[in-house]
Amino acid sequence: MAKIIRCDDGVVLRGETDEELLAAAFAHIRDAHPELDGSLTREQLLAMAVQE
């Protein structure tokens, strides 16, 4: 089952695995929120994730 993270800007990030979800999240942060790049850990992002 996929996991998702809903960003405050309305973007929904999805991944079938934790690694896919984290890759999507880190890419989104780099592209859309460069001021946050490097400030969120893997654990913090996974804590935001919910099962889809």
pLDDT tens across 5-50, in order?
999 999 999 999 999 999 999 999 999 999 999 999 999 999 999 9
Q: How many domains does the chain have?
A: 1
Q: Which domain holds residue 21?
A: 3-51
Q: Per DSSP, which regions of 1-52 are E strands?
A: 3-6, 12-15, 50-51
Nearest to 21 by CA among 45, 43, 44: 45
Q: pTM value?
A: 0.92
